[in-house]
């Protein structure tokens, strides 16, 4: 590595080395730039130093820029970035899934309790209060929650069974009524048919008897 000492800090001898370099790199303010140009017209050292600087920078510029071997491109986060819920699900693994499973179970239990309370409140207000009390007490421990849920499920089952029995009874009654009506209709139809047949038979007898009478008259 080269030394950091400036090898030509005393050159040019006029003492305007820094201003000259600022001038060479176009960093000199406009008024000082004009003064430097006037100085250059009279100072041979500064002209020589300026030529050296320009030669050096020209030599440095012989190093070409390289083309970048691979272009960069960014894509929209909104398209490829997973949703916050998905990131939580993916990153949380067991923890996230367990939490969600527990939350699902809680929601299901709450739905069952509320549903049972609602059904009981409609049919039997006194028992409904019991369910609500059980639900509020259920928050205390999992055993109480399970007992309350089992009780609510049993009540719902009883209600469903009662409903089913009522429906079956009503269906049987309807069916019986329908069958009686059909029987009556059939009997009426049979009666009517019998009467029609009887009339036709009477008419046939009447025609035969009239033919016999006509035949005997002609024979005499």
Partner 1 sequence: MIFRAVEDADLISRVRCGDVEAYNLLVSRWEKRVFNYLLRLTASPDDALDLSQDAFLKAYQNIRKLDDPARFGPWLYRIAHNEAYSLFRKRRPETALEDAATERNPAPGFPMDLSLAVTAALDRLNPEQREAVVLKVYEGFKFDEMAEVLGCPVSTVKSRLYTALDLLKTELAPMNTRSVSRGNPC
H helix intervals, 61-83? 77-80
Minimum CB distance to partner 1 smaller for 4 or for 220? 4
Minimum CB distance to partner 1 smaller for 3 or for 220: 3
Contact criterion met (CB below 8 Å) for 116 and 155: yes
Residues lying near partner 1 in the complex (CB under 8 A): 1-9, 17-18, 21-22, 25, 27, 52-53, 55-78
* Residue 33 CB, nearest approach to partner 1 (Å): 15
Nearest distance from C-beta of residue 134 to partner 1, angstroms: 53
- Structure-block tokens of residue 130: 């019991």
Nearer to partner 1, 70 or 220 (CB): 70
Taking the complex as a whole, the smallest distance from the CB of residue 86 to partner 1 amounts, in Å, to 20
In contact, 189 and 152? CB cutoff 8 Å: no
Task: Using the structure block, give the residue that is written with the tokens 């510029």.
Answer: 61
* Span between the terminal Cα atoms of the chain, in Å: 169
Burial annotation 111-146 (CB, 10 A radius, 16+ → b, else e): ebbeebbebbeeeeeebbebbbebbeebeeeeeebe
The answer to whether the CB of 28 falls within 8 A of the CB of 36 is yes
Query: Closest approach of Cβ 65 to partner 1, in Å?
Result: 5
Q: Please identify, using beta-carbon distances, which residue of 1 and 126 lies nearer to partner 1.
A: 1
**Shortest distance (Å) from residue 133 CB to partner 1:** 54
Q: In this complex, which beta carbon is closest to partner 1, that of residue 11 or of residue 88? A: 11
């Amino acid at each position: 590595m080269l030394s950091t000492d400036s090898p030509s800090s005393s050159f040019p001898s006029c003492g305007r080395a820094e201003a000259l370099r600022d001038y060479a790199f176009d960093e000199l303010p406009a008024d000082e730039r004009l003064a430097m140009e006037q100085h250059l017209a009279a100072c041979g050292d500064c002209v020589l130093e300026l030529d050296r600087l320009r030669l050096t920078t020209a030599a440095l510029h012989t190093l070409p820029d390289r083309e970048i071997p691979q272009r960069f491109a960014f894509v929209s986060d909104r398209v490829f970035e997973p949703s916050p819920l998905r990131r939580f699900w993916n990153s949380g693994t067991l923890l996230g899934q367990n939490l969600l499973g527990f939350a699902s179970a809680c929601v299901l239990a709450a739905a069952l309790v509320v549903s049972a309370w609602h059904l009981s409140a409609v049919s039997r207000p006194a028992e409904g209060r019991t369910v609500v009390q059980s639900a509020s007490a259920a928050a205390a421990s999992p055993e109480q929650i399970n007992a309350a849920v089992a009780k609510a499920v049993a009540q719902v089952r009883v209600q469903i069974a009662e409903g089913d029995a009522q429906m079956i009874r009503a269906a049987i009654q309807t069916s019986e009524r329908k069958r009686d009506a059909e029987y009556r209709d059939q009997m009426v139809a049979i009666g009517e048919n019998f009467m029609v047949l009887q009339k036709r038979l009477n008419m046939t007898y009447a025609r035969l008897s009239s033919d016999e009478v006509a035949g005997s008259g002609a024979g005499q």
